[in-house]
Amino acid sequence: METSNRLSYSKTHLFAEDGTQYKIIAKVSLDGDCKNGMYDFSITADIYEKRKNGRIVYAGGGCCHEEIQKRFPELAKFIPLHLCNHYGAPMYPEANGFYHLQNSGKETTINYLRITEEEYNALSLAEDQKHFKYLLFSLGIVERWKKEADTLISELETLSGLKWENPYKPEEERFTLTLSDEERANIEKLIKDGFYTKENIEKRKEEARKAALIKKRADICARYDKDIAKAEREKKVMLYIFDSGVSTENVIYYNHSNTVTFNWSNLSYYKRISKEDFQNFLESVDYSKLPEGIKFEIK
């Protein structure tokens, strides 16, 4: 059998629905078209519609998995591995899988990871991604993924008449889920030490919850302490000007630049200070009573 680094098989089916004739072309492939250093499965379809005038037009395409399952039941076995790599692992199984476990529903997680409900319950005990990855291996899930992929690669080879040859060496592949001996030993030591017992996990969650509350409270205090400090600084500046006998009606203090601007508004109902009065004020300023580096200007 001839070898190839790309396997592809397509099949066409004609059908009628609501009086309209359609043609659907299903395509199954194992390829590296994404050029991401890994070969992935793909099963998609293109659907064409025959108009009343005999013209054939493109009606849609893409995953169309429900339609593929309906029109090509013999290809349905490839659907669960759509976008999975040739090891049978879904995209980013460690990060995405753990995210779904923490944030998505049971059905979504089970479908994404292609696991049983019993395996879902076991994985639910994972507290972090490292523990989660360890469980994927120890529960035999990764090994099963590989067997499922190997089976479908063999079937795709039969369908395409080609023998698949991976152009990448294992060390050249990207996005490969691995568990080193060191990682395994570290997790197993933590398990042995009771780190991942339900009681200790709950204890850490409670500690994290309390720490989050303390941090939130501190953030609120810091935010308003900053606002208070700004207000106190502005109050100090405006009172100093007022106590100097100068009108503050058309005066503004910019905290961000530590600058006081006289005659900042051109509106007629704001009283303006003369340049002479401004100069007299500048000559009498006691900077020791004001924020360091303060500047005065007039418009």
* Cα 213 to Cα 221: distance, rounded to the nearest angstrom: 12
Q: Which of 77, 17, 8, 81 is nearest to 47 (CA)?
A: 17
Q: What is the largest CA-CA distance in the chain?
A: 100
Strands laid side by side in the 20-31 sheet:
7-17, 20-31, 40-50, 56-62
Write out the H or E segment, with its range, that includes residue 22.
strand 20-31
Q: Are 41 and 84 in contact (CB under 8 A)?
A: yes
Task: Note the pLDDT of residue 248.
Answer: 93
The residue with tokens 């390829």 is 31
* Cα 123 to Cα 139: distance, rounded to the nearest angstrom: 9
Task: Note the pLDDT of residue 48.
Answer: 96
Local confidence pLDDT in tens for the 299 residues of the chain: 899 999 999 999 999 998 899 999 999 999 998 888 899 999 999 999 999 888 999 999 999 999 999 999 999 999 999 999 999 999 999 999 999 999 999 999 999 999 999 999 999 999 999 999 999 999 999 999 999 999 999 999 999 999 999 999 888 898 899 999 999 999 999 999 999 999 999 999 999 999 999 999 999 999 999 999 999 999 999 999 999 999 999 999 999 999 999 999 988 888 899 999 999 999 999 999 999 999 999 99
Write out the H or E segment, with its range, that includes residue 280.
helix 275-284
Task: Note the pLDDT of residue 1.
Answer: 83
Task: Note the pLDDT of residue 35.
Answer: 82
Domain boundaries, the chain: 3-196, 225-298
76-100 burial code (b ≥16 CB/10 A, e <16): eebbbbbebbbbbbbeebeeebbeb
Task: Note the pLDDT of residue 189.
Answer: 97
pTM: 0.74
Q: Which of 145, 131, 236 is nearest to 191 (CA)?
A: 131
Neighbours of 121 (CB within 10 A): 11
Task: Note the pLDDT of residue 53.
Answer: 87
Task: Note the pLDDT of residue 77.
Answer: 97
Q: Which of 284, 217, 294 is nearest to 251 (CA)?
A: 294
